[in-house]
Amino acid sequence: MANRLVELDGGASIDPERTIPTEARIEARLADLVEMARIKTLDDIGDGRAAIDRTRRWLAAKSGRSGDTAG
Say if CB 67 and CB 57 are below 8 A apart: yes
| E strand or H helix at 37 | helix 23-45
Written as tens digits, the pLDDT of the chain (71 aa) is: 877 888 888 888 778 777 788 999 899 999 999 999 988 888 887 778 888 888 889 899 988 865 455 54
- Domain membership flag for residue 9: no
- Domain membership flag for residue 8: no
Q: What is the DSSP string of 50-66?
A: HHHHHHHHHHHHHHTS-
Domain that holds residue 31: 21-71
Q: Specify the number of domains making up the chain.
A: 1
